[in-house]
């Protein structure tokens, strides 16, 4: 039942969104903060110990949960569905993006700027409507890969342990993987580990963006061509692919100046279309839904194909208590 469990976890996210209380990812973040306070030193070696230890612990927790549910008679699929639901963020992503778009459409730029940190970490102060639209579309694109497809892909590859490890690496990158005086060395391993674990999800997301582009009136050929020609220009080996794919699918131009922590960067241009507008935020959210649903189905099929079938008679013998 591992394959259907991935679809079940995705469906739970679509229907219910993030758990309102006791969110496992938030709990992991609190643990990571506590471990950082104890282990921090501005060295790569200490940062590597921090990152690899926490990701390994998350993977172990996912595997232990699967074994507990299997031993209780519920099967490993229950654990996979639950861990997948906790790891995904598709409903929240679309909801926050549309909330920001609505604020811009009402002309309430202060509210739109206040809403942006729920989508990304860039500085919202002073951004005009066009810059906010671009930030929202770029964030929806990147988080479609990070918060949806990546978790599903790792669920197909390695089950609950894979989903937990991927989400842990992604969370640590967001916490310490950025370039600042404190984390320049300590966060290096977290950033690199996230790059490696996000690689398959980013490529799968970009490919699915091309396949799903007609949902938003886009061209699969243009989407694929834009991803191939512009994606590698981005400083991130993963974000560039999916952002370029969204630019091609939506027929917009992404990239340009952005600011993180008071430091401005000039990102390369992705796509050859017009500047994004509020309607493109809504279109990006629809494209994200289509990509997520496709990824859930494909990941479930891949996981089911990898899961060995146990004959009913053998399964009955395994469940029978020893005498």
Confidence of residue 53 (pLDDT cuts 50, 70, 90): very high
Concatenated DSSP letters of 96-163: HHHHHHHHHHTT-HHHHHHHGGGT--S--TT--HHHHHHHHHHHHHHHHIIIIIHHHHHHHHHHHHHH
What local confidence, expressed as pLDDT, does residue 310 receive? 52
- Residue 318 is assigned to a structural domain of this protein: no
Pairwise CA distance, residues 58 & 187, whole Å? 18
What local confidence, expressed as pLDDT, does residue 44 receive? 97
What local confidence, expressed as pLDDT, does residue 147 receive? 95
Question: Given a cut of 70, is residue 318 above it in pLDDT?
Answer: no
- Residue 102 is assigned to a structural domain of this protein: yes
- Residue 307 is assigned to a structural domain of this protein: no
Report the percent of the chain where pLDDT is more than 70.
94
Confidence of residue 308 (pLDDT cuts 50, 70, 90): low
| Alpha carbon distance, N-terminus to C-terminus of the chain | 29
Pairwise CA distance, residues 57 & 18, whole Å? 22
CA dist list (Å): 126 to 64, 104, 110: 47, 14, 9
Pick from 136, 117, 85: nearest CA to 292: 85
Across the chain, the runs of DSSP E, i.e. the strands, are: 254-260, 263-270
Q: Collapsing DSSP states into helix, strand and coil, what is residue 307?
A: coil
User: What's the whole-number average pLDDT of the chain?
Assistant: 93
Instruction: Provide mean pLDDT across the span 106-123.
Output: 94
What local confidence, expressed as pLDDT, does residue 1 receive? 58
Instruction: Provide mean pLDDT across the span 98-116.
Output: 97
The total of structural domains in the chain comes to: 1
Question: Given a cut of 60, is residue 164 above it in pLDDT?
Answer: yes
How would you label 252-276 residue by residue, b for 16+ Cβ within 10 Å and e otherwise? bbbbbebeeeeeeeebeebbebeeb
Question: Given a cut of 80, is residue 307 above it in pLDDT?
Answer: no
Question: Given a cut of 50, is residue 322 above it in pLDDT?
Answer: no
Pairwise CA distance, residues 97 & 118, whole Å? 9
**Longest C-alpha distance within the chain, in Å?**
73
What local confidence, expressed as pLDDT, does residue 153 receive? 98
- Residue 115 is assigned to a structural domain of this protein: yes
Q: What is the pLDDT of residues 279-300, one digit of tens each?
A: 999 999 999 999 999 999 999 9
**Most confidently modeled of 17-26, 32-41, 116-125, 261-270?**
32-41
Q: What is the pLDDT of residues 249-259, one digit of tens each?
A: 999 999 998 88
Pick from 80, 47, 85: nearest CA to 173: 47
Q: Collapsing DSSP states into helix, strand and coil, what is residue 5?
A: helix
CA dist list (Å): 296 to 153, 212, 269: 8, 14, 31
- Residue 308 is assigned to a structural domain of this protein: no
What local confidence, expressed as pLDDT, does residue 19 receive? 78
CA dist list (Å): 274 to 27, 134, 269, 282, 287: 41, 11, 11, 16, 18
Question: Given a cut of 60, is residue 149 above it in pLDDT?
Answer: yes
User: How many beta carbons lie within 10 A of that of residue 35, not counting itself?
Assistant: 15
Confidence of residue 317 (pLDDT cuts 50, 70, 90): low
Answer yes or no: are the C-beta atoms of 156 and 47 closer than 8 Å. Answer: no
Instruction: Provide mean pLDDT across the span 297-315.
Output: 75
The domain containing residue 259 runs over which residues? 2-302
């Amino acid at each position: 039942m591992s394959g259907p469990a991935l679809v079940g976890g995705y469906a739970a996210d679509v229907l219910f969104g993030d758990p309102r209380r006791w969110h496992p990812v938030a709990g992991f973040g609190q643990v990571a903060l506590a471990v950082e306070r104890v282990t921090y030193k501005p060295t790569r070696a200490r940062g590597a110990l921090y990152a690899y230890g926490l990701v390994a612990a998350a993977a172990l927790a996912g595997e232990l949960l699967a074994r507990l549910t299997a031993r209780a008679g519920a099967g490993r699929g229950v654990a996979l569905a639950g861990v997948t639901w906790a790891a995904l963020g598709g409903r929240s992503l679309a909801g926050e993006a549309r909330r920001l778009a609505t604020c811009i459409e009402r002309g309430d730029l202060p509210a739109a700027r206040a809403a942006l940190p729920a989508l990304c970490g860039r500085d919202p102060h002073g951004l005009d409507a066009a810059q906010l639209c671009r930030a929202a579309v770029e964030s929806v694109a990147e988080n479609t890969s990070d918060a949806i497809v990546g978790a599903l892909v790792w669920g197909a590859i390695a089950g609950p342990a894979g989903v937990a490890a991927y989400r842990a690496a992604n969370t640590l990158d967001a916490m310490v993987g950025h370039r600042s005086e404190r984390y320049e060395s300590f966060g290096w391993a977290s950033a690199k580990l996230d790059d490696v674990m996000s690689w398959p999800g980013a490529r799968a997301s970009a490919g699915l963006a091309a396949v799903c582009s007609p949902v938003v009136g886009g061209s699969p050929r243009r989407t694929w061509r834009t991803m191939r020609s512009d994606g590698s220009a981005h400083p991130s080996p993963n974000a560039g692919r999916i952002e370029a794919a969204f630019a091609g699918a939506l027929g917009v131009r992404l990239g340009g100046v952005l600011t993180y922590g008071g430091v401005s960067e000039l990102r390369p241009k992705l796509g050859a279309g017009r500047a994004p507008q509020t309607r493109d935020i809504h279109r990006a959210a629809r494209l994200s839904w289509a990509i997520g649903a496709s990824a859930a189905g494909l990941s479930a099929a891949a996981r089911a194909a990898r899961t060995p079938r146990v004959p009913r008679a053998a399964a009955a013998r395994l469940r029978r208590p020893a005498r």
